[in-house]
Amino acid sequence: MPVSWTNYLGVRDMCTVISHNAGGYSFYKSAEHGRITRFRPNGVPLDRPGHYAYLRDDETGDYWSISWQPVGKDLKQTTYQCRHGLSYSKFISDYLDIHAEQLLFIPIHDDVELWDIVIKNNGSRLRKLSIFSYVEFSFQHIEIDNQSFQMSLYASGSNYQDGIIEYDFFYEPWNYHFMAANFEPDSYDGVRDRFLGNYRTETNPIAVERGKCCNSTELGGNHCGALHKRLILEPGEEIRLIFMLGVGSRAEKGRLIKKKYSDPNNVDQAFQELKSYWHQKLSALQVKTPHQGMYTMLNTWTIYQAETCVVWSRFASFIEVGGRTGLGYRDTSQDAMSCIHTNPAKCKQRILELLNGLTSMGYGLHLFDPEVFKSKEEKLPGVKLPTIKPMPKPADIIHGLEDVCSDDALWLVATVCEYVKETGDMAFFDEVVPYADKGEGTVYEHLKKILDFSAEHIGRHGICQGLRADWNDCLNLGGGESAMVSFIHYWSLNIFIEAAQYLGRDADVQKYSSIAAKVKSACEEILWDGKWYIRGFTKTGRKIGTQESSEGKLFLNGQSWAVYSGAASEERGRMCMDAVNEHLFSRFGLHLVWPAYSQPDDEIGYITRVYKGIKENGSIFSHPNPWAVIAECILGRGDRAMKFYDAMLPYNQNDMIEIREAEPYSYCQFIMGKDHSAHGRARHPWLTGSAGWFYFAATNYMLGIRVNFNGLMIDPCIPKEWQEFEVQRKWRGATYKIIVKNPECIMKGVKSIRLNGKKVESPIPPQKAGSVNEIKVLMG
Ligand code: GLC
């Protein structure tokens, strides 16, 4: 592969990010402070080190690894496979009649990464082999793992007993990791450089070359988990070995884990539990469409990616390598909206953390660690460490307006309402949550503060101020104005008004309806530019995203949000989305802005200082693409919605990896735009809001199955050649089997709905928990 294709293991506290070549790293809870194995990010060779299993032919001295790297055998003599699945990865090699498999996963209920290894002698003679595990331990905190080593190099140690290498960290006496196996090792190394040998790498470790470790452990230095076992395999014989990379000390965890997972039945059971965990989740929404790529992605990979962003947040990948901890306010709000039906508990946790990260002024803290707000007892044990920055106090992370992004908190309004719509938990609005700075309020009051903040922070045209940035981190308008934020404000106001109506809070319905009317008329009067909407104003009043400019004429978000928010009239909506189709479309998706900027202009912001065609300056930024899909669905143009959806679907780029390079099962943050020489190359997999939003756009707007406070909405917008599709949706304990037929070949419009044979209207009220309901929909 041209780049590392990665996967995520672990669904609770321990996580491993692993490549198709077994490169990668593990952490416990925090990728910044809880690192288990070391990674040399952005290094050469690619993705080192990793979680490696070496095999050695003890008769010839020849050796290889079960994953292609790190030994990197000649592919003419060796066959390698890697399979990434939902929370597991499997490496397979076939070399000189030895078939080997290494399955990696983290059981749901134990903080240990298991390597379930099978080795089979497919030849006709007896074979004498050795197997070695290898992981490199880390100094726990990314900062001290990569900066001054004058303390850390002497603060970590390894020791060996009972077949277990235990790694400790003197700074944090509660912190241990271990490597164990289901056998008594023949030799071991806890000291990295004794295993590798000086001036060698993971490609040719001296211990593997020699066929024996040197039983090293030491206090101080760099450490590893290398366990070695000699094997004799008769022709046709197969052997199964389990390695365990765990969190905790030998005494408290290591021995117990070694005992438990030395029984292969427990390994099988843990893997089965993981499978059921995902089956259960995925069964919350399954679709069957005439478009295979669409249902393959929706039923597995897109929702899996969306969950990954919610569970592990956005700071652990091979690009985000763990230097930041916590939550990005806007990213987390949006992520948490996409998978409430598959992971309500985690989404609720994120929502509460974000509510707590809201100031009493009504703005959210752009990037914050929820740990800061936890009471002392809940925090990790606190010992003052010599080289670690102290944990800030809440007051230290509240900087006032200077650091506020104008959109951050607005996203939370929709997310909270989606949470209630999905779960039916109306009482959630009345839960009391503290503000980040002072005081507390109900969830409902938090939402009002968010909406009020945007209403109060408007510029001289009546459009929301841009502040440090809006959704686009690189549009830094300060007191200038952002069309996108006014549209999001309008969208959030309407969502909130619906909630207030449902709760019977009439005074609020009135108050916020009148704010919404003002916002809408400001948008329609000020932002229309003749063919499309402008993107905003600089602080000196220059228009951004206007036909009059030579660069940055047309911005995607100004158009999609005009429509999605409901602020644009239908006529203008059609015109501006036509402009999007005409100027921003490419076969890899929609560009964020056109033409890209070539001249720095600090009144507009950092966007003008990014190379053309990259990231925010005219790349095909993925995250806004699904908003355009939603806009087209609202306009009823199902063919166009599908055209936009299809262009970016990773599945469709499976056969152009020489251009795309990145994983064809993951949305990436961006794809190089037409102004860049590498047009079509995708970068930054996994951690992007596009997964959640594409999932939301496809299920809620293309397939049109949405949940509301009081019912299930059915409002598809599909390509006209689709004759039929099916959705199975679980909602508030009941199951809905929905079959939609489209005999008239239309794109939008529902003629009739039958629920269990009876004619009904959308929204369909929630049915009894446990019931299985058949819904037949006829478009027309
Ligand atoms: C990155 C950020 C996200 C931002 C986007 C556009 O994806 O994580 O918060 O909205 O860039 O700037």
Beta strands in 510-600 (DSSP E): 536-537, 543-544, 554-555, 585-586, 589-590, 593-594
How many other CB atoms are found less than 10 A from the CB of residue 275? Answer: 15
Question: What is the Å distance from ligand 1's center to 537 Cα?
Answer: 20
Inter-CA distances, 683 with 409, 669, 678, Å: 27, 6, 11
How many other CB atoms are found less than 10 A from the CB of residue 72? Answer: 17
Q: Which residues line ligand 1 (CB under 6 A)?
A: 328, 330-331, 471-474, 616, 623, 669
More confident: 662 or 386: 662
Specify whether the CB–CB gap between 763 and 726 falls below 8 A.
Answer: no
Question: What is the Å distance from ligand 1's center to 502 Cα?
Answer: 33
* Average pLDDT along the chain: 96
Any residues with CB less than 8 A from the CB of 376 and at least 6 apart, and which? 382
Report strand pairing: 554-555 vs 750-755: unpaired
Q: Which atom of ligand 1 is nearest to the CA of 328?
A: 9
Which residues are catalytic, by number?
473
Q: Residues 235-260: what's their mean pLDDT?
A: 98
pLDDT in tens, 480-511: 999 999 999 999 999 999 999 999 999 999 99
Q: How far apart are CA 36 and CA 57, in angstroms?
A: 30
Question: What is the Å distance from ligand 1's center to 708 Cα?
Answer: 28
Does the pTM of the predicted model rise above 0.95?
A: yes
Q: How far apart are CA 622 and CA 178, in angstroms?
A: 40
Name the residue of 471, 482, 560, 609 whose CB sits within 8 Å of the most ligand 1 atoms, as the mutation to test its pocket: 471
Whether 768 has a pLDDT exceeding 50, the answer reads yes
How many other CB atoms are found less than 10 A from the CB of residue 2? Answer: 12
Q: Which atom of ligand 1 is nearest to the CA of 684?
A: 7
Vertex 737, ends 734 and 742: CA angle to 5°? 145
- Tokens read off for 387: 């080289």
The lowest-confidence range among 150-154, 414-418, 454-458, 531-535 is 150-154
pLDDT in tens, 325-364: 889 999 999 999 999 999 999 999 999 999 999 999 999 9
The reported pLDDT for the residue numbered 152 is 85
pLDDT in tens, 549-606: 999 999 999 999 999 999 999 999 999 999 999 999 999 999 999 999 999 999 999 9
pLDDT in tens, 45-93: 999 999 999 999 999 999 999 999 999 999 999 999 999 999 999 999 9
Q: How far apart are CA 309 and CA 737, in angstroms?
A: 28
| Eight-state DSSP code of residue 129 | E
CA dihedral 395, 397, 399, 405 (to 10 degrees): -140
What phi and psi values does residue 632 have, to the nearest 5 degrees?
-65, -35
Q: How far apart are CA 104 and CA 284, in angstroms?
A: 26
Burial readout 546-571 (b: 16 or more C-beta within 10 A, e: otherwise) = beebebbbbbbbbbbbbbbbbbbeee
Whether 380 has a pLDDT exceeding 70, the answer reads no
- Name which residue sits closest to atom 3 of ligand 1, judged by CA: 331
Interaxial angle between packed helices 506-526 and 483-503, expressed in degrees from 0 to 180 and rounded to the nearest 10: 160
How many other CB atoms are found less than 10 A from the CB of residue 384? Answer: 7
Vertex 317, ends 223 and 321: CA angle to 5°? 55
Confidence of residue 376 (pLDDT cuts 50, 70, 90): low
Give the rounded percent of residues in the chain with a pLDDT score beyond 70: 98
What phi and psi values does residue 90 have, to the nearest 5 degrees?
-135, 135
3-class DSSP state for residue 287?
strand
How many other CB atoms are found less than 10 A from the CB of residue 750? Answer: 18
Specify whether the CB–CB gap between 563 and 577 falls below 8 A.
Answer: yes
Specify whether the CB–CB gap between 730 and 752 falls below 8 A.
Answer: no
pLDDT in tens, 440-453: 999 999 999 999 99
Q: Which atom of ligand 1 is nearest to the CA of 473?
A: 12
